[in-house]
């Protein structure tokens, strides 16, 4: 596969996914040494006809380099990105401090907001766990555009997927203040119907979240433990009342 060329320009170095009428590969642009590595999504058959209109609406995506027809295939070219999948960075038992969590939550939501005008077939695929890439050393969160075929995607589905990833970062823990747990409860109830509303809700609550964490940091161990326990009791009572 190392010698395979697409349109005599893109040298395929690694096929990352291959299925009926779809393939995803890492390649090198041999005519553009500055950009170098890139990602190729290749569609054939019914998928070509389905996805061609989608990629004609990508002018607001900086990672999109372009598309072209190669024989009976539609090929789309995206920038590559580094980092680890989100599931390998944020998981139950990790040791990230609250500042790191809030910072990466902000970055995730900013990425979702940047895709608000993209076709949902593209944006929803980019928000899948394998495509949300985090580089802690480089202090970045980026999206890998492996646009796998998905059925029934719509803007609301992007909200659901973004909330799923957000919960991994703001994982409910005993150390979570009640303000953060309340935000997660609100997301579980489907408070937001678009990523614009989701980002607006985050901006509205972020200051209170940081203030709550800072207040906990100022307490000694016993007072912090009591405050967290009391917060959970109030949350439990409120949830029981809603039922």
Picking from 16, 4, 5, the residue whose alpha carbon sits closest to that of residue 41 is 16
- pLDDT digits (tens), the chain, 243 positions: 445 778 789 999 999 999 999 999 999 999 887 778 999 999 999 999 999 999 999 999 999 999 999 999 999 999 999 999 999 999 988 899 999 999 999 999 999 999 999 999 999 999 999 999 999 999 999 999 999 999 999 999 999 999 999 999 999 887 889 899 999 999 999 989 999 999 999 999 999 999 999 998 887 665 665 666 666 666 655 566 666
Tell me the C-alpha distance between 201 and 208, whole Å.
12
Query: Looking at the domain that runs over 5-79, which CATH code has it been given?
Result: 3.30.200.20
Predicted confidence at residue 2, as pLDDT, reads 44
Domain map (residue ranges) of the chain: 5-79, 84-222
CATH class held by domain 84-222: mainly alpha
pLDDT of residue 1: 41
Q: Rounded to whole angstroms, how far apart are CA atoms 195 and 70? A: 35
Measured between alpha carbons, how far is 202 from 207 in angstroms, rounded to an integer? 9
How much is the pLDDT for 174? 79
**18, 1 contact by CB (below 8 A):** no
Among 90, 109, 92, smallest CA distance to 100 is for: 90
55-65 pLDDT, tens digit per residue, is 999 999 999 99
All residues at 6 or more sequence positions from 111 whose CB lies less than 8 Å from its CB, including other chains? 132, 141, 142, 143
CB of 198 closer than 8 Å to CB of 109: yes
Residue 84's SS3 state is strand
Q: Are strands 84-85 and 73-79 parallel, antiparallel or unpaired?
A: unpaired
| 8 A C-beta contact, residue 189 and residue 174 | no
DSSP string, 205-222: HHHHHHHHHHHHHTS-HH
pLDDT at 62: 96
SS3 content of the chain, % helix, strand, coil (to 5): 45, 20, 35
Give the number of other CB atoms < 10 A from CB of residue 166.
21
**DSSP assignment of 90-108, as one string?**
S-TT----HHHHHHHHHHH
């Amino acid at each position: 596969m190392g010698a395979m060329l697409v349109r005599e320009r893109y040298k395929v170095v690694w096929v990352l996914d291959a299925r009926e009428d779809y393939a995803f590969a890492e390649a090198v642009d041999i005519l553009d040494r500055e950009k170098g590595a890139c990602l190729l999504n290749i569609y054939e058959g019914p998928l070509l006809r389905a996805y061609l209109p989608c990629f004609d609406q990508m002018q607001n995506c900086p990672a999109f380099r372009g598309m072209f027809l190669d024989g009976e295939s539609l090929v789309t070219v995206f920038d590559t990105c580094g980092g680890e999948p989100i599931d390998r960075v944020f998981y139950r038992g990790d040791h990230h401090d609250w500042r790191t969590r809030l910072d990466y939550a902000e970055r995730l939501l900013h990425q979702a907001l940047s895709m608000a005008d993209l076709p949902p077939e593209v944006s929803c695929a980019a928000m899948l766990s394998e495509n949300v890439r985090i580089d802690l050393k480089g202090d970045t969160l980026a999206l890998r555009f492996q646009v796998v075929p998905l059925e029934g995607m719509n803007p609301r589905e992007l909200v659901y997927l973004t909330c799923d990833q957000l919960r991994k970062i703001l994982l409910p823990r005993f150390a979570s203040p009640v303000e953060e747990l309340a935000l997660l409860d609100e997301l579980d109830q489907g408070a937001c119907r678009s990523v614009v509303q989701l980002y607006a809700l985050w901006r509205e609550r972020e200051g209170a979240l940081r203030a709550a964490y800072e207040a906990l940091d100022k307490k000694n161990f016993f007072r912090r433990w009591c405050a967290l326990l009391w917060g959970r009791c109030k949350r439990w009572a409120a949830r029981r009342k809603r039922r």
